Structure 1
């Protein structure tokens, strides 16, 4: 699964050419930030799961 701070790949790349996103907020909606240009997109959890391709890198939550 995915968690806050993870880097994910979506099915379609961002227009800036990068397809690496960081999850910055989780709840009923999920906010992701493009690692290339910094653009922020907010999607419903259902829409996010539909567009998610894979998790690239898990966050290091050493708490």
Structure 2
């Protein structure tokens, strides 16, 4: 069992789009809940990590694009 490694400043592409039409979010805060800001309109949301992990399509980190499966950290 593992969790997806999410870092501050990552750009997440989600399965569903925000009402403004954008699917990309910038990670602002990390913890039990993940704080993200919409790239297009700047709306800020806090989403529980478990719920967010189910909706991630890809992670853009420092110019590299990762699929969620490539960013998993094994936890016992």
Question: Is the structural similarity TM-score above 0.5?
Answer: yes
Q: Which has the higher strand share?
A: 2
Gaps of 5+ in 2: 64-76
Deviation of 1:59 after TM superposition, in Å, equals 4.1
The aligned length equals 59
Runs of 4+ residues over 6 Å off in structure 1: none
Deviation of 1:9 after TM superposition, in Å, equals 0.4
Deviation of 1:18 after TM superposition, in Å, equals 1.1
The CA RMSD measured in Å over matched residues stands at 1.4
Larger Rg: 2
Does structure 1 residue 29 correspond to structure 2 residue 41?
A: no
TM-score by length of 2: 0.70
TM-score by length of 1: 0.83
